[in-house]
A and B are shown apart, each in its own frame.
Chain A
């Protein structure tokens, strides 16, 4: 019983592994994923993926061209940021301006867990 149990867990972890290998994306999929990352400049909080505005369509064409030129996703994003600023990307970058944004959730949760653990030890004594 115990052995078969461990075996099943082991098999599962081996089988999780394929998920690690990201399957090769077609350029259409790449373009679509990038569209979801790029904010539409003239719309209310939409990405260019969701928008049909003229400016959004223009950006889509630019991105597709950059992909055919063989640029990586990172290059394209950097190109857009240089041109329009951080604002254009849906995901904020990780830099001194956003340390608080990215790191504080971890600090908050650890603080709370620490407190709960501390209280449980203190009261049992």
Chain B
């Protein structure tokens, strides 16, 4: 009896979405550890397993990771935000402008960028909750609007560079052993995790995701909760913009192009249902890691390097992984439905 229950507990942990994703992540890593090689800065061939390589992956996945964290509560409410990547670009440009053109100090300019992020997220929130427009259409609009603004401001030509070293420390150096921005990423992950899993806010997001009408009839402030998730996404996009600018040492209007799709992929890969209600921050973190390792690992496979097709291949494999994860998540349901219909078929026939 006891063994049976512990056995099933062990099984349900492994066969949970997070469990499977973790195994996929380990498999990816082991594969690249065996077959991947790379050249370090001293032109020495080293393997995929070096600590430097791991930190590099972490450093490169912080911005998409932040966007994925911001999208997790949104997708839990059965919403979507396509504008996060564009808002990242707009915030990066305005940060550069505030610092370079307006002559503000870095902290003040950064605060300005965060305010812009909040305003951008607030615009989404306003359109979605006040006018009750569908999030997909609203954020498709702001996706073009924010990117367009960024390009209009710079006329597509201006690039802000020559940021002070103190600012570049954020994106290019290490602090207490980890890439500096990783600390911010982990802090945001912890905050979003607490919000989603440990507060009544997270509970409301799920209720809204499962049944917006049901949540309304339960007296939950549906509009305010929805506004909150889009507002948070705006601020986190601005934070990602600062990290992006610091990592590359430049602010351009095309910053973060296409990031929203990687972020959504990571969230859905992490087991958050696009239909709302179901999902976890742990899943999102694993989803981000699975995509980051895949992308980075492919770049150091010799065969891929010879073909010079790492970008394309990683795009294809990420897509395949996502479709596989989606199939995997609905397959058990179809199987049980199929079984149920086959089992009940016999007694239903007339006697």
Partners in one complex: no
B interface residue numbers (CB < 8 A to A): none
A interface residue numbers (CB < 8 A to B): none
